[in-house]
């Protein structure tokens, strides 16, 4: 008797599991699942926060209309936000989790090249389209047909910084301080050195110093840099380190200018850096002050919703997500089979030739990299990032 009860209980359990699974599947088929591989903790939490804010705004927009219209049918979106802790290995794990557990059709992120380069490999191997909003290192998309991005590349950004600094500071000697354990920072520093030395002759980069990600004291490097008497210091570093580097350089008596890169452009830079960063220049993806059209509309809505000016990461995440949505629509019809849908999205992404984003219009080359303009902004006395110059390829 007992056995019968146990057996029937087991059968019941198995059945309820099966029903739950079928029910779960049939429910989930209704939604387009997109994953976000972003740094919500770790070295650059503000970057993850900005990405998530922009994504939430987009999600609310689309779902308020009943979903994304694909082939005449409206399908609601579902976004998964996973924290990669600003670490390379966690970014890979997050990518695998999104692909295998959540069954997403595409991944937005990671943002920083340090995470985007390894995670791009994972997505490519697992045949899942990935669009990095902010990564500028060429290796992220190189020979990876499944990986795309919304940002310009360091081989483009490097010369922009060199040309602008040469013109603005009348510089013939430069110093560089970069993060040796960050693909982005290291790659950009090397490109900058090459381009600057080609332009101003060998040895014109008078100091080329590095530091580690967790370092807080840069006085030894800065002493060396200041002593080599450069015309300006190029700092392709994340905003949190920039705040320390600029301050310590001032403490050591450096009164000259700095030139930064797009990793400076976080909404948190001025909170951490304060007066020391005012008057400095950096190259970036867009300038919020004085924007027009769709960009202005995005900025106003973001400010109304979150109470701060969206930084470049927020704008690029918006563009990256819209690229994916565009590809889903371009594919014609939504395929409930995740693998087929991923393939369809990849094909559609690779055939997008031109896209009008809020960070400027972009054309895609054969590597999946956009060709778009860069801007140089100046940090004014109120801490706003003001447009100084636009450079187009």
Partner 1 sequence: MDILIQNLLNALQWGSFYALIALGYTLVYGVLLLINFAHGDIFMVGAYIAFFVATFLLGLFDFAPWMVLALTVPLTMILTAGVGVTLERIAYRPLRRKGAHRLYVVITALMCGLILENGNLALLGASRKKFPELLDKVIYTWGNVSVTNLKIIVIFAAIAVFLLLEFIVTRTRIGMAMRGISYDKFAIPLMGIPIDSVIVFTFVLGSGMAGLAGLLFAMSYPVLEPYMGALIGWKAFIAAVVGGIGDIRGAFLGGFLLGFIEVGVVAVFPSTYRDLFAFSILLMILWIKPTGIFGVAKTTKI
Contact residues: partner 1, CB under 8 A: 40-43, 45-46, 49, 180, 208-212, 214, 216-217, 219-221, 223-224, 226-227, 240, 243-244, 247, 250-253, 268, 271-272, 274
Handedness of CA 212, 217, 220, 226 (dihedral sign): positive
Least distance to partner 1, CB of residue 34, Å: 23
CB 99, min distance to partner 1, A: 25
Nearer to partner 1, 22 or 180 (CB): 180
Residue the block writes with tokens 């629509």: 329
Least distance in Å: CB of 132 to partner 1? 21
Rg (CA), the chain: 23
Report the 10 Å Cβ neighbour count for 50.
Answer: 30
State which residue, 79 or 208, has the beta carbon closest to partner 1: 208
b/e per residue, 62-101, with b = 16+ CB within 10 A? Answer: bbeeebbebeeeebebbbbbbbbbbbbebbbbbbbebbee
CA angle, residues 71, 72, 77, in degrees to nearest 5: 75
Q: Which is nearer to partner 1, 10 or 220 (CB)?
A: 220
Q: Which residue has the tokens 């060199």?
A: 162
DSSP secondary structure, 96-150, as one string: HIIIIIS--SEEE---SHHHHHHHHHHHHHTT--EEESS---GGGTTT-TTEEES
**Nearest to partner 1 of 16, 227 (CB atom):** 227
Minimum Å gap between C-beta 250 and partner 1 is 8
Least gap, CB of 38 to partner 1 (angstroms): 12
Instruction: Kindly tell me which of 197 and 347 has the beta carbon lying closer to partner 1.
Output: 197
What residues contact 263, with CB distance under 8 A and at least 6 apart?
112, 184, 185, 236, 237, 238, 239, 242
Least Å from the CB of residue 83 to partner 1: 9
Nearer to partner 1, 70 or 225 (CB): 225
Question: What's the closest the beta carbon of residue 227 comes to partner 1, in angstroms?
Answer: 5
Q: What are the structure tokens assigned to 95, written together? A: 């990518």
Token pair, residue 166, equals 């040469």
- Residue 194 or 215: which CB sits closer to partner 1? 215
């Amino acid at each position: 008797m007992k056995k019968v009860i146990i057996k029937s209980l087991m059968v019941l359990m198995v059945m309820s599991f099966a029903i739950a699974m079928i029910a779960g599947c049939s429910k989930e088929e209704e939604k387009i699942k997109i994953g976000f591989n972003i740094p919500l903790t770790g070295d650059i939490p503000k970057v993850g926060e900005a990405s998530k804010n922009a994504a939430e705004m987009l999600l609310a927009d689309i779902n308020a209309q009943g979903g994304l219209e694909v082939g005449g049918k409206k399908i609601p979106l579902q976004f998964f936000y996973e924290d990669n802790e600003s670490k390379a290995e966690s970014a890979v794990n997050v990518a695998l989790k999104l692909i295998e557990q959540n069954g997403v059709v595409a991944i937005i992120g990671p943002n920083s090249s340090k995470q985007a380069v390894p995670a791009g490999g994972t997505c490519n191997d697992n045949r899942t389209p990935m669009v990095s909003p902010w990564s500028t290192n060429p290796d992220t998309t190189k020979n990876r047909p499944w990986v795309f991005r919304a940002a310009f590349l360091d081989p483009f950004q490097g010369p922009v910084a060199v040309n602008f600094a040469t013109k603005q500071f009348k510089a013939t000697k430069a110093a560089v301080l970069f993060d040796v354990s960050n693909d982005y920072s290291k790659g950009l520093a090397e490109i900058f050195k090459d381009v600057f030395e080609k332009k101003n002759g060998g040895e014109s980069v008078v100091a080329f110093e590095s530091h580690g990600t967790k370092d807080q004291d840069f006085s030894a490097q800065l002493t060396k840099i200041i002593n080599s008497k450069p015309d300006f210091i190029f700092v392709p570093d994340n905003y949190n380190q920039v705040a320390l580097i600029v301050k310590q350089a001032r403490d050591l008596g450096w009164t000259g200018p700095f030139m930064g890169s797009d990793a400076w452009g976080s909404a948190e830079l001025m909170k951490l850096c304060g007066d020391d960063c005012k008057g400095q220049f950096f190259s970036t993806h867009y300038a919020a002050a004085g924007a027009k059209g769709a960009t202005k509309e995005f900025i106003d809505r973001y400010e109304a919703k979150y109470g701060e000016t969206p930084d470049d990461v927020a704008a690029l995440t918006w563009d990256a997500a819209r690229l994916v949505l565009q590809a889903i629509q371009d594919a014609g019809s939504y395929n409930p089979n995740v693998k087929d849908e991923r393939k369809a999205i990849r094909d559609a992404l690779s055939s997008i030739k031109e896209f009008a984003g809020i960070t400027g219009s972009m054309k895609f080359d054969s590597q999946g990299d956009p060709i778009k303009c860069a801007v140089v902004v100046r940090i004014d006395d109120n801490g706003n990032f003001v447009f100084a110059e636009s450079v187009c390829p």
